[in-house]
Amino acid sequence: MRSMPGRFALAALSLLCVVVFVACNCPPTSPTVRYLTVAPKSATIDAGTTQQFIATAYYSDGTQKDVSSAAVWNSSAPAIASVTGGVATGLTPGTTTISAAFSALTDTASLTVIRTLESILISPASATVALGGTQQYTAIGTYLNADGTTSTQDITTMVTWASSDTETASIGTNTGLATAVNTGVGSTNITASLDGITSNTATLTLGPAVITGIVVTPSSKTIAIGNTVALTAMEIFSNSVTQIPTAAIVWAPVCSPVGAATFVGNGSTNNYIQIATGQAAGACTVTATEGSFTASSTVTVTAGAALFAYLSGNADNTISQYSVNVASPTPLAALNPPTVFAGAPQQAFLHPNGLYAYTIAQDTTSTVHLYDIAPGTGTLTLRSGDPQVNSGAGGTNIGVIDPTGRFLYVTDETAGTVNGFTISQIDGTLTAAPGGVTGLDTPTDVLVDHQGHYLYVIDGPTVGAGAILAYSIDQTSGALTPLSTPSYPVGNQPIFATIESSDPTHPHIYVPNGGDSTVSGYTIAPATGLLTQIGAAAFPIPGATVNTFVDNAIVDPTGKFLFVIDYEIPAGNVYTFNIGAGGVIGTQVGSLVLTGDGPGGMAIDPTGKLLAIENNVDNNISLFSITGGVLTSETPQPTGSAPFGIVFYVAP
């Protein structure tokens, strides 16, 4: 029996054939971009004109299409030419690469932008400039455009500039800024060139230098209380030369707090030097004005510290130098071996600006020598050429510099004189001042009040009562004029005195009287310089006798304690007293403290923590720490032979 496929099997086979047929009848795929071109491949245009670039895409089916509007365009040097939608715009001469990106493909073309330069015009055509001055030149280029028109462009930084006489004026090669050379007066020709084109010729004439402003030096300075700084105003010329002002300088200090510093002129031409003296911690802005010109400086005042100490060795011609540390068990430490200076120096005293020191030689003319002080180390160096002045006749001399550092005064016991000198604020040299004092008995000391307005001479005969002689100081010349009450009595044989001005409205002067072991005290009237005696009589030193010979006194910086020494051999004594209201000498503080043989000079550091006393016979310095007026002995410091005139160097 024959077997036949069933009806359902045939139907399934037919359906399979239909599905296969349908699956094989798919639509064709989209063509892809095979490559991209940019045309033209290179082009040259004038600046200011455009160039159309075409981006063409080539597809896999053999077709091509302009895709300029769809492509992303870029210029490798947009300053030379920009491009948008295939349209490139020339901006300035040069070559750039134009690129188009489409469907992850990129192609490039080269574009050169040119301009035809016809001429260059520089200006100004003529100019006059002062020595050291400048003149800016401008170059304008005229270009021929592709359409036959012309256009202009500032090409100052594109051209090459030249000066025909570079010794008269130079000019920046690509800037056009001409600078007059600082020598001579003349003229030069200025030209500019680019692309083979040379400009017209401009003439630059040099005239005399002119004032362009003023400058104050130093521009800033920090000083300690009691220190000074000389502010100097100078005119600046266009050739950078400076000179003393030709018109008066007006100074205007503004201090915070008020009174942080005082300011005075020193009689300089047109008031071009102003001296600032530190009075209290603070800061001052100091403005100098000359006509329409101004300049300023800042002076900062801080508490000072004793950094060094100096002491003359009268018998061995030395000046010993020490570093100072008031907190150390050995407050003074000898530095270099003492330097030998001729002339038996009697005293080393310091200019308040910290730059200069002076000694008075015990020779036939009491020669004053000038030294420079090295910043930082404090080392003294005798000024080259040793510019000397004579201050007496070879007696014992004492010198004092006024607080502003303008004047120096020197006594001479033998000649009975006081000679004055003005001090140069430029180099510290001395010039004799008019109006010295003659005819004195035995001037043993000289002092200046805290304002620098009055000078007091201690005139003490070898036997009998002495006096304080009072003078006003001419603030320009330094000349001395006796006050309306010129003389005030003190005790017998007054020696070294001191002025206390912790309260500047009521300063006091104390004078030890060696012949009767007392201390005379007076109050100084700041407005007149006249003296008013403190108490009904001189203050007697308890326990002292005529044989002790009280010879020096000093007050601590707070004005609370008075220290007095007597010149005894083999050992002197230090007495300490409270100072009460009105400067009255009060009760004794603690007990007597011994010094060495023949104590003379005294110094206290500005913090009031260290007292130093030189011993003229022992050849050493007695040192004492101070606590509440009570003295504690520290290790003595050896000195040169016959020490005289110890002084502390104070700085910020």
Residue 27 maps to a domain? no
Beta bridge partners of 610: 625
**129 & 42 share domain:** no
The answer to whether residue 7 scores a pLDDT higher than 50 is no
**Amino acid code (one letter) for 519:** V
CA distance 202 to 93: 27
- Residue 146 shares a structural domain with residue 274: no
Same domain, 232 and 339: no
- Domain end call among 91, 114, 137: 114
Residue 522 belongs to what H/E stretch?
Answer: strand 518-524
Question: Do 280 and 316 reside in the same domain of the chain?
Answer: no
Per residue in 619-628, pLDDT (tens digit) is 999 999 999 9
Are residue 233 and residue 378 in the same domain, yes or no?
no
- Quick one: 222 and 363 in the same domain? no
pLDDT given for residue 303 in this prediction = 95
Please, what is the end-to-end C-alpha distance for the chain in angstroms? 137
Q: Domain for residue 13, yes or no?
A: no
Residues 319, 276: one domain? Answer: no
Count of other CB atoms within 10 angstroms of residue 130: 18
Instruction: List the structure tokens of 277.
Output: 């003296």
Helix (H, G, I), strand (E, B) or coil at 226: coil
Select from 172, 207, 242 the last residue of a domain.
Answer: 207
Tens digits of per-residue pLDDT, 369-425?
999 999 889 999 999 888 889 999 988 899 999 999 999 999 999 999 999 999 999
CB-based contacts of 208-211 (< 8 A; 24+ apart in sequence): 208/130, 208/131, 209/130, 209/131, 209/132, 209/133, 209/237, 209/238, 209/239, 209/241, 210/130, 210/133, 210/237, 210/238, 211/235, 211/236, 211/237, 211/238, 211/246, 211/293
Q: Please give the residue range of the domain that contains residue 215.
A: 211-302
Report the domain count for the chain: 4
Which of 190, 207, 224 lies at the terminal end of a domain, its last residue? 207
Distance from C-alpha of 216 to C-alpha of 288, rounded to nearest angstrom: 7
pLDDT tens digits, 230-283: 999 999 988 888 999 999 999 999 999 999 999 999 888 899 999 999 999 999
Beta bridge partners of 648: 309
Verify that 297 and 327 share a domain, yes or no.
no
Q: Does the pLDDT of residue 22 top 80, yes or no?
A: no
Question: Residue 102 belongs to a domain with what CATH number?
Answer: 2.60.40.10
Percent of the chain whose pLDDT exceeds 70: 94
Q: Please check whether residue 632 lies inside any domain of the structure.
A: yes
Q: Tokens 């950078």 belong to which residue?
A: 240
Q: What is the DSSP letter of 173?
A: T
**Could you tell me if 430 and 356 are in contact, meaning their C-beta atoms sit under 8 angstroms apart?**
no
Q: Report d(CA 119, CA 144) in Å as an integer.
A: 10
Whichever domain contains 411, its CATH number is: 2.130.10.10
Amino acid at 288: A
Asked whether residue 8 is assigned to any structural domain, the reply reads: no
Residue 22 lies in a domain: no
Identify whether the C-beta of residue 95 lies closer than 8 Å to the C-beta of residue 87. no
pLDDT value for 10: 35
Beta strands in 155-219 (DSSP E): 160-163, 169-171, 177-180, 187-194, 197-198, 202-207, 211-217
Confidence tier at 182 by pLDDT (50, 70, 90): low
| Cα–Cα distance for residue pair 636/634, rounded to 1 Å | 6
Q: Label the pairing between strands 293-302 and 220-224.
A: parallel
Is residue 600 assigned to a domain? yes
Rounded to an integer, the average pLDDT of 56-76 is 95
Residues 218 and 90 in one domain: no
pLDDT for 568 beyond 70 = yes
Residue 68 amino acid letter: S
Pair of tokens at residue 343: 């002339």
> Position of tokens 């300690």?
224
Whether residue 71 lies inside any domain: the answer is yes
**One domain, residues 239 and 295:** yes
User: 111 or 46: whose pLDDT is higher?
Assistant: 111
Helix (H, G, I), strand (E, B) or coil at 456: strand
If asked whether residues 313 and 248 sit together in one domain, one would say no
Is 135 inside a domain boundary? yes
Helix (H) or strand (E) holding 56: strand 54-59
What are the pLDDT digits (tens) for 133-149?
Answer: 899 999 999 988 767 78
Same domain, yes or no: 508 and 551: yes
**Under the phi-then-psi rule, with left for phi > 0, alpha for psi from -120 to 50, and beta for the rest, what region is 196?**
left
Residue 583's φ and ψ, nearest 5 degrees, are: 80, 10
What tens digit of pLDDT does each residue of 284-339 get? 999 999 999 999 999 999 999 999 999 998 888 889 999 999 998 899 999 877 77
CATH code: domain of residue 243? 2.60.40.1080
